Amino acid sequence: MPRPIKTLIELLTELGNKAADAYVPEDRALFAELREATNLGLIRCAERGDDGVWRVNVWYKKALLAGFRLGQMYEQEGYANFNFFDKHTLPTRNFYMTNNVRLVPGGSAVRDGAFVGDGVIVMPPAYINIGAYVGDDTLIDSHALVGSCAQVGRRCHISAAAQIGGVLEPAGMVPTIIEDEVMVGGNCGVYEGTIVRERAVLGTGVILNGSTRVYDLVHERVLAREKDKPLEIPAGAVVVPGSRPVKGDFATSNHLHVATPLIVKYRDDKTDAATALEEALR
């Protein structure tokens, strides 16, 4: 752990829950260093080990939470003279040509302290929150959200109106994770620390959260969150919205069903052709 961040955490532990105006400028400078280290990809909220297991950097989340406490409300002039009111420790990020990021005009925002990789495209309006990680050559489409601490891999396609939920608290909980080359269809929602493994495909409208049960029709199994393990979508799985009947006489008599994601196949050459990123846009 870089020394300035360790110092920040120790400082905030000593100060406890004092008012924001009890902190001095040097304290906030440490938090600015955290944001810049995140921008550069030197540190991140969670990392995948060689064993394939994602582990959260609890100290990182604690430092982010400290940044909220350090901040004071301020007014900032935004797009088209529309003013914003937020903590001054949580500014938007500035991009330059050297970042090689296509940030298309139209109202998108990226908070400072979010990693956005080389070749990323952000279509308007989209939002990337603090602590997030967006890997190289990923497309964040219109009206898409990448929440706080969410981790998105390389060459993903986060389609229009998709939401990748953030998980900032509790500090020890693994955030929502989208691994490399995943296709997230329009109007999908991935929440509560769900892990979508590499090259999976989520069809339009799939919703995944901590209480979701996913039925794998290929391997005839049910996937769900376990006690200390989040819901995981297997590598290469193709998931579409489905439904299953609700038990009980009332439900049966009224033909009631609940939404249930279904794994209908695993990725093949045909799927790759259908989900290929539009090279012409790059």
More confident residue, 116 or 79: 116
The whole-number average pLDDT for the span 20-29 is 72
pLDDT for 104-155, tens place per residue? 999 899 999 999 999 999 999 999 999 999 999 999 999 999 999 999 999 9
- The answer to which of 10-24, 122-136, 251-265 has the lowest mean pLDDT is 10-24
At 280 the pLDDT is 58
> Is residue 246 scored above 70 in pLDDT?
yes
Q: Is CATH 4.10.640.10 what the domain over 3-70 is classified as, yes or no?
A: no
At 73 the pLDDT is 86
The whole-number average pLDDT for the span 194-202 is 98
Give residue 281's pLDDT band: very low, low, confident or very high (50, 70, 90): low
The whole-number average pLDDT for the span 148-175 is 93
Q: Which residues pair with 259 in a beta bridge?
A: 243
At 22 the pLDDT is 66
> Is residue 2 scored above 70 in pLDDT?
no
Tokens of 158: 């986060």
> Is residue 11 scored above 70 in pLDDT?
no
- 124 Cβ contact partners less than 8 Å away, ≥ 6 residues apart: 104, 105, 106, 107, 108, 142
- 155 Cβ contact partners less than 8 Å away, ≥ 6 residues apart: 135, 136, 137, 138, 180, 181, 277
Q: Domain residues of the chain, as ranges?
A: 3-70
**pTM summary value:** 0.92
